[in-house]
Structure 1
């Protein structure tokens, strides 16, 4: 029996959450090791586990995988969520990188000074609703299919449902102008593996709070 993949990160969303989502959507069980101290993090570096001295770290198939996009690409290929040919893979990459752009904005938001959060939230919502969500809405409207590429569930769809749910935490009606995305959300949330991941007690992490932000800053020695 193969060992479960081992995920090493902070006990929160961050850059690992998209990896958790993709594994969960693939029906893959995994184990997690949470960094609680700076000493644990420095030991990973000293032991040569982190190619660029950064987490997340995923250990599986005899590999120590780092760099979020590389990990996601590996998982998508391994679990048949990467299209049927190079053209579909390129389309999936484009859509997935768009959602990763949004993820990057969302990752920085909890670390903003309190006095900047209102403006930062408004900026994220403006960019997302004018630049990103219209692209996905148009894609579904044009091809009339259930999923973004080739009418097959892919990495791009997993990323999209993850980011939709995160954005709704900022603005509950953010999909009000996007009926195609509303329908996609309903479909995606009923996929058995995703439905399971959305249930209480799953490895899905809650929105980052102040104690989580403080711990991350302490471990990484951020000012």
Structure 2
């Protein structure tokens, strides 16, 4: 586990953060969990990165900023200084800004964050409503999710993307973290609900986004890797999706 640098100025931190030559270490558990999009971001960025996992989470937990994962460590190879950043949305927005996936202006950035946040929310609601539900309530909570929560997200996003003429992007004609968040979340949602709500026939605009991301060579290579498959296998074993 990398140790973040202390007693360095905010100016130094800012200069380190600007570089794309830094080495990243992303600490999280050895399954997909909430990280499909974030891991994919590093995989397609061309950056030097490593995915690491807690060895003894009980002991390591107090050493993280908020006692939770993920945590991103970014090391400047010249000075050896290491920056530490926690919280999923903060890390994704940071990397999105750094690699040009947040639009071309302030308004596009806000729009991308809006769609990204909406998709993250529908996944988070699955976790809080179903995954964490007591065993005796899981069936009931699953139906609540499938009858009320998921259909609303599907209807809203399909309508919005239809307005974009199914061009495969949420904002403009460029790839963004909103596209990636939806594409990676679709895999989970289809595992949960089959084609009950989501399919190329029922939701062509949503699948236009999914297919555009799937066709990205670096993303396809990441999903074909043994590392991605190992995360996927454990995720299905632990959570069923």
Q: TM-score, normalised by structure 1?
A: 0.82
Given candidates 122, 125, 142, the residue that maps to 1:121 is 142
Q: Does the CA contact (< 8 Å) of 1:121 and 1:170 recur in 2? A: no
Aligned to 1:189: 214
Moved more, 101-110 or 58-67: 101-110
Question: Residue 54 in 1 paired to residue 76 in 2?
Answer: no
Q: Does the CA contact (< 8 Å) of 1:8 and 1:34 recur in 2? A: yes
1:149 is paired with a residue whose SS is coil
Q: 2:190, 2:113 → 1: CA distance?
A: 24
Aligned to 1:220: none
Change in CA separation of 1:128 and 1:151 when aligned onto 2, cut-off 3 Å? farther
Q: Does the CA contact (< 8 Å) of 1:25 and 1:158 recur in 2? A: no
How do 1:204-219 residues align onto structure 2 when only pairs under 5 Å count? 205-206=231-232, 208=235, 212=238
Alpha-carbon RMSD:
2.4
Change in CA separation of 1:40 and 1:16 when aligned onto 2, cut-off 3 Å? farther
Larger Rg: 2
Aligned to 1:87: 107
Moved more, 3-12 or 109-118: 109-118
Q: 2:45, 2:145 → 1: CA distance?
A: 29
1:197 is paired with a residue whose SS is helix
Question: Residue 14 in 1 paired to residue 46 in 2?
Answer: no
Q: TM-score, normalised by structure 2?
A: 0.76
Greater relative contact order (Cα < 8 A, sep 6+): 1
Q: Does the CA contact (< 8 Å) of 1:99 and 1:159 recur in 2? A: yes
Change in CA separation of 1:4 and 1:178 when aligned onto 2, cut-off 3 Å? same
Q: 1:54, 1:141 → 2: CA distance?
A: 37
The total of aligned residue pairs comes to 207
Tell me how far 1:186 sits from its aligned partner.
Answer: 2.3
The superposition leaves residues 160-212 of structure 1 with CA deviations (integer Å, 9 ceiling, x where unpaired) of: 001111101112213142122233322221111221122141436226356x5
> Structure 1: 5+ residue runs without aligned partners?
214-223
Q: Does the CA contact (< 8 Å) of 1:24 and 1:197 recur in 2? A: yes
How do 1:30-109 residues align onto structure 2 when only pairs under 5 Å count? 30-42=49-61, 45-46=62-63, 50-61=64-75, 62-108=82-128, 109=130
Moved more, 91-100 or 200-209: 200-209
Given candidates 138, 160, 164, the residue that maps to 1:139 is 160
